[in-house]
Structure 1
Amino acid sequence: MNRTETVSLYDRLGRFDGIERIVRDVMEAHLANPAIRTRFEASKDLDHARKMAVEFFCAGCGGPEPYTGRDLLAAHKGMNINEQEYMAAMDDILAALEQNGIDPGTRGEVTAVLYSLKNQVIRV
């Protein structure tokens, strides 16, 4: 049995503190990414968006923290996010995972999760 089979995704991402660091790095990357920067610069409350992202990742990865935000479909409805924007966001997430020392197998697992969620974000 390998490490990814015995240690939860939540633990492999560094639990709450690790996920919070990753989300911080993701948000910084989004604000610097010309493909999606304007969407984040226009946010009315970036701190709230960051908090919701931390909660979402923690809860979705098996952590004890509850997610108190809207479901993905409701949160992205009317934003008309296109495929290129979604891929740019994914690239930022994967780069932040690598920057934080997350192993390739775990990054692959996160990639699969992100792909599984795209229909709740793209063009809704």
Structure 2
Amino acid sequence: MTKLLYDRLGGSIGINQIVNEVVQAHMNNPAINARFLPLKEQPEHLASIKKHTVKFFSAGSGGPETYSGKDMVATHTGMNISRGEFAHGIDDILGVLENNHIDEESKKDVLAILWSLKSMVVSL
């Protein structure tokens, strides 16, 4: 039997680590860091975003967590995220997965999830 994506990503601990590293990668990426660097001055808001992201991805990957935050459209409305910014975000995520030695099948599954969210995130 195939393990859930949640388990292949390391469960709660692994997903927490991945989210933390992705946020750092976004902050280091000059193509999108203007959206993330201001969060350094708002540690409580940044912690909240990370918490919601962990719950969202945990629930969406088959984990036991439930997500009750905003949906993707409500979260990203008004942000005017471009296709290029979305692509840079995906690149950061895939890089973090690679650095964490996540297997190819799991990376493809994550990519499929991210790609399915594109129309809810991109507005330009």
Identify the TM-score tier after normalising by the shorter chain.
over 0.9
1:67 positional shift:
1.0
- Give the gaps of 5 or more residues in structure 1: none
| SS, match of residue 6 in structure 1 | coil
Runs of 4 or more off by more than 2 Å in structure 1? none
- Give the gaps of 5 or more residues in structure 2: none
C-alpha distance in structure 2 between counterparts of 1:93 and 1:54, whole Å: 13
| SS, match of residue 64 in structure 2 | coil
C-alpha distance in structure 2 between counterparts of 1:65 and 1:106, whole Å: 19
Amino acid at match of 2:93: I
Q: Residue in 2 aligned with 1:46?
A: 46
1:60 positional shift:
0.4
How many residue pairs were aligned?
120
> Per-residue CA shift, 1:39-94, capped at 9, x if unaligned?
01234511111111111110000111111310000000010000000000000100
| SS, match of residue 116 in structure 1 | helix
Q: Which residue of the other structure, out of 2, 6, 10, is the alignment partner of 1:14?
A: 10
Give the TM-score normalised by structure 1: 0.92
Q: Residue in 2 aligned with 1:31?
A: 27
C-alpha distance in structure 1 between counterparts of 2:106 and 2:8, whole Å: 7
| SS, match of residue 34 in structure 1 | coil
Q: What percent of counterpart residues are identical?
A: 47
C-alpha distance in structure 2 between counterparts of 1:6 and 1:108, whole Å: 15
Q: Residue in 2 aligned with 1:121?
A: 121
Give the TM-score normalised by structure 2: 0.92
